Structure 1
Amino acid sequence: LASLVGLALFLIMNFRKFMVFLPLFFIGLMSFKGAERFAMYLAPFLGLGFGYLFDMLVKLNIKKINNVKNVVASIMAIVLTIIPLAPNIVIAEPKITPQLYADFVNLNKITPKSSVIWTWWDYGTAIEFLANRATFHDGQSQIYPKTYFIATSYSDSNPEIAYNTISAISNIGNTGIEKLLKEKNTPQEIRDKIFEGKFNAPLKRPTYFAFTGDEIGKFGWINYFGTWDFKKKKGIFEPIGQLGDCKKKSEDTVFCGLNEINIKKMYLKTPSLKLNINTLAIYKDKKLTIKSLDSDGLYIDVVYLKNSKINVYILQRQPFYSMFNQMYILRDYDPKYFNLVYDNFPTMVLYEVNKEPKELSK
């Protein structure tokens, strides 16, 4: 806090000299509300601020009092004045919610010790630490090709392709992909072979597909990577919208604040417009009901939770049929490839990946 005061004084007195550093300084300030990693950009400026403040106080006191203790006392007086303001300046928020933390710890109990978790990379390290389970990728390995293939398992609509992808990456890994690239296979050719199951083999370790609540907000970018077009060199950015404070008004209507969803007449009404619903998925009491109209319109999930709470998600067609929406939000999966073993939606939903595809009786 003393450093920030000193930095503010330095800015006032030397603004023109400081302008060249402003972009880095603003990135550093993001550590207060954004990712804490941005603090590395702020640290040099805090050192500058503290040094500048100390220098000012020394110059003010050195002529009158030749005593370092009084200089230190002056700095401490400023710090003690600012400390009561600290709660209003910095509000530390947990990066992992208590509920998700508990579910990661619970992974240790509901999965075998030799298990490996298939999920997006952001919480890979947290799972490795809290659950003591291996993951396919984490913050240290998201730059490798397997990140793309994990994204495809979220964005694709075909459970067989999702399974083939998991099986291939489990068996050949990055090493196998690098070998295929050296053999002059193009990335698209490698992808097609993986999707077709060319590298499938029985899984050697228990493998689990985990979905977590944070991925709803991240889905737009996960989907962008997972739908990558190698010719156009871009993917489809389609985020999933969520309406808050949703409550059931009647058998046919759900209100989310000022927004009304009419289940019978298939429309979403906002304060300013009325939109048709093409497909409405209702998940209630572990049962899924789908209503569809042969017309243009929105794709909406209505998910009933505990304590009469309701979550409503608004999607476009492609994300609606993605494995992420089908398996995570709607709990609709193909038992030939996956088996639901833990359902704590929306915090975490966990599937066991079958060692090899099961032959299901008709």
Structure 2
Amino acid sequence: MASTTTNPTTTTKEIAKEIPKIIRIYKDGTVERLIGSPFVPPSLQDPDTGVSSKDISISADPAISARLYLPKLTQSNNQENQKIPILVYFHGGGFCVESAFSFLDHRYLNLIVSQANVLAVSVEYRLAPEHLLPAAYEDCWTALKWVTSHLANSPINSDPWLINHGDFKQINIGGDSAGANIVHNIALRAGVESLSRGIKIIGAFLSCPYFWGLKPIGLESVAGHEQSNPFLAWNFVYPDASGGIDSPMINPLVPGAPSLAALGCSKLLVIITGKDELRDRGVSYFESVKKSGWEGEVELFEVEDEDHCFHIFNTETENAKNVIKLLASFL
């Protein structure tokens, strides 16, 4: 396996491949991640939100882990027979940077869990280029199946928080950016493959979803389209994708893609931002879901003067607080 570093270094080594300002691979096999927030440990009780968190292993081979979050339980819902909704969350980062254990995602999940009063499972899936797609998709599906297996008598690596407090009639999935892309693909898969004991996904939220395609749409620039970061990132993390940048995994609206009517959830929330280069893809996705014949409820929410995933990078602004409040209400 290639060696990996997460900090920029001064080097004269020759670059083999890169996504500018995000990640690069050198010809000696070294991988250098140029962005990403530092890892932080879980906490038994977060001082700001009261949320407790812990890290668990879902699978040793392949290596899949997660950070679990439990809100501060009141005396009434602390009883063993009291259950709360479950959120299975997939972090962003272009499938190649960031982590379920990073500061930004930890802070963000603490806020969502405390306001929504949900039990969250933030999945640490394998990253490219060490593990090219579809590894992340498979890891996230495995994690979802692990969560739902707790309804059985003897789940592997069972977790007491899920057993004691998880309401398996209220399972939600959600993600931001690449994580939102994963949400779409997991929801489609859940529409055709069964989860444990017939469990159904209730809600799915896609925040600033990472979708792209060969032909520019909306306000996307025609000049330099093939050199845009969304284009370069997909070729970096999934070079063997059937259809390339028009793979249904990244372009769910391409001719021949699976019907959006098959989405395996009951309600869908799409969040977009006005300054995000991915904005128009999110709008088209929302409109296509509405026209697909899908029988669930779909909502589009736009924050006009903000950029991609702003609500994760700066949680203290009024706009960010409104997004987190919206997510809490949705869940």
Higher relative contact order (CA 8 A, sep 6+): 2
Is TM more than 0.5 here? no
Considering fraction of residues, name the structure with more helix.
1
